[in-house]
Every structure is written in structure tokens, then in C-alpha cells.
Structure 1
């Protein structure tokens, strides 16, 4: 009986150690990403006057951008695009000054919900894998990653009016 209790205590102790190790590993792996996100939020608050942050996204296509959605002092929803530059052996950092930082009232563009609705009504046979704001060919866009019966694709839509930018990019070797 005593031996069984000892075994249970050891098993619980090992399980707790394993959970702590997993948490520490996860914290270590996501450390740079969290640092970049915090820097982007701070930059958005400084340059666009955000007082509250709702969501953030990291977009990597031609360049790395962090996009921050939040509200200003007048309680208007704003999206802020912040360009980042790559740093070797460390987290990416925002570009110096306000160069490249762009903010737009959400009411002046297409919201995520509106974009999803427009995409699905125009293409009911596709499945949206991911839709996030980004920056493509010098403009603010919605970056759609989707799948249909022929494979996986990327398509960009203008943030301002939801119109497509270019043609879809197909991923190689993705036939279903």
C-alpha cells in the first residue's frame, strides 16, 4: 500500500515537472514573437494614437509588417500597418521613425467580416483557411489563403474597397 502511494506521488511529481518544462519551452520559443508584437503595439499607440488594442497580425510577404487593430481616443476603430526590418539572431524591429507606418479608419475600408462575406458570396466552393491584413505591392490589403477542389491559393484584396489585386498564387504540389 505504501509502495503504491509512493509510485503515485512520483508520477504526479514527474507530470508536474513535464508540464513546467513544456510551459518553459513554449515561452522560450514564442519570446521573440511576443517581443515584436509588444513593440508593434507601442509603435501603433505612439504614431496613430491608439488607446486600446483589439487584435494584432504579423504579415510576411515581400516585407514584414505588423498590423494592429484598435480604437483611438474618439472610440473609432483604426488599423495600423507597421513595417519591420529583419534582424539576424534576434526579433525583428520596426523601421525608424514613422516612415512606412500607415493608419486607416476601419470605416474607410473593408472589415474582416465584410471581406469574408464578399469572398464566400463570389466563390462559394472555396474554403477560407486564413484571412489577415497585410501589405502587397505598396498597398494595404487583405491576404486570403484558401483551398478549393484544385489546391491551395493566395489572393490579395484591397483594404479600401475589397477588389482583387492581381491573380491568385497557387501553391505547387497541392492537388487534392
Structure 2
């Protein structure tokens, strides 16, 4: 005896999701995840980029810089934005933006990055430098050099140098490892 399916049973079987729809759903979900990740990263970075744009604006309006060569956020005793750039005459400047003042120094009037690295290398020959950053230390413009102080344990230290004279101000041995 040959039995045929009822209309209801036939309809139930035809409602299975075909493979191309599964693929479409999976692709749509992956696109959603990518967009959500992009929006998350963008919003997490928005405060930093807004602060950076503000620092550049201040350096141009209050310190007279026309071209910006770099911006640095230095956090130690206080948060300071440092903006490097040139004025209309082509003179290179460093601008330290503190909460209550803007300090502007000619780069030629102090130690530039290459000079401070050379001085550091004289005191610490063969040392691996991790990072060099202009900053603010002991109420004055400074250079921060982070380096590996013990290659065996990979322990790090930070040296601070005065911007104007290159004088060593202080060393901090970092805990860990």
C-alpha cells in the first residue's frame, strides 16, 4: 500500500532551512561582529584622539606652531602633552602642555632625542632602550628613557634627564620579572 504524505506533513518538511540560508546567516553574523568590534575600538580610542587634537590646537594657537612633527602623552607626576613642531620661520620647538601652563622651548636650546640617546649610551653602553619619550619631571621639561637594566631577568628601569642640560635627574628600577 502506497501512502502519501498529508499536506501538513509535506509543508513541515519543506520548512527546513536550506544550506545557502545558513551560510547567509553566518556571514551576516560575522559582519555584525566585525562592525561591533570596529565601533568598540573606535569609541575606546576616541578620548585619546580628542585629547591629542586639543593638544595640537593649543600648540598651534598658543605656541605658534605651524607644522606638527609629533605628539606625546606623558604620564608620571602629572599628565602632560608634548607637541613637537616648527614655527613659520622653520625653527623647531617642543611644547609642554600642563594643566595650568604651556612651556615652549627651542629644540636647539636643549637636548634633542639623538643627543640624549648618545649621552645615555655613554653611561649605559650596550643597553637595550625600550622607549624614549619627552615628558615632565621634577617640575621641568625632561626626557624619559626606559631600558632593560638586567638582560638576564629582563628587568627594566627608567632614567629621567633634564631637557635643557641633559643632566641625569633620577633612575627608577621597575619591579617585576
TM bin, normalised by shorter chain, reads 0.7 to 0.9
* Aligned counterpart for 2:52 among listed residues 37, 53, 61: 37
Show the counterpart of 1:171: 174
Task: Measure, in 1, the Cα distance between the counterparts of 2:26 and 2:92.
Answer: 50
Greater relative contact order (CA < 8 Å, ≥ 6 in sequence): 1
Does residue 81 (structure 1) correspond to residue 96 (structure 2)? The answer is yes
Q: Matches of residues 134-145 of structure 1 in structure 2 within 5 Å?
A: 134-145=135-146
Aligned residues: 158
User: Displacement, 1:6?
Assistant: 4.3
Equivalent residues of 1:125, 1:148 under 8 A apart: no
For 1:69 and 1:8, locate their aligned partners in 2 and report how far apart those are by CA, in whole Å: 51
Give the distance between the partners of 1:16 and 1:124, measured in 2 at CA: 51
C-alpha displacement at 1:8, in angstroms?
4.3
User: Which among 54, 58, 67 is matched to residue 82 of structure 2?
Assistant: 67
Aligned pairs for 1:149-160 (under 5 A) are 149=150, 151-160=155-164
Q: Which runs of 5+ in 1 are unaligned?
A: 85-94
Task: Tell me the distance in 2 between the aligned counterparts of 1:122 and 1:19.
Answer: 49
Q: TM-score, normalising length from structure 2?
A: 0.79
Deviation of 1:108 (Å): 1.2
In 2, Cα distance between equivalents of 1:171 and 1:41: 32
User: Which of 140-149 and 14-23 deviates more?
Assistant: 14-23
Unaligned runs of 5+ in 2: 1-17
Task: Tell me, in whole angstroms, the C-alpha distance in 2 between the residues paired with 1:30 and 1:122.
Answer: 38
Deviations 1:116-154, CA, capped at 9 Å, x for gaps: 233234312422121101111121100112212162211
Q: 1:20 to 1:120 in 2, by over 3 A?
A: farther
Local SS of the residue matching 1:134: strand
Q: Which residue of 1 aligns with 2:7?
A: none
Distance in 2, Cα, partners of 1:70 & 1:155: 25
Q: 1:11 to 1:124 in 2, by over 3 A?
A: farther
| CA deviation map 1:90-137 (0-9, x unaligned) | xxxxx3xxxx21111111111112222332343124221211011111
Between Structure 1 and Structure 2, whose CA radius of gyration is higher? 2
TM-score by length of 1: 0.80
| Matches of 1:5 and 1:120, distance apart in 2 | 63
Deviation string, structure 1 residues 44-97 (Cα, Å, up to 9, x no partner): 11111011112111111111110001111111111100003xxxxxxxxxx3xx
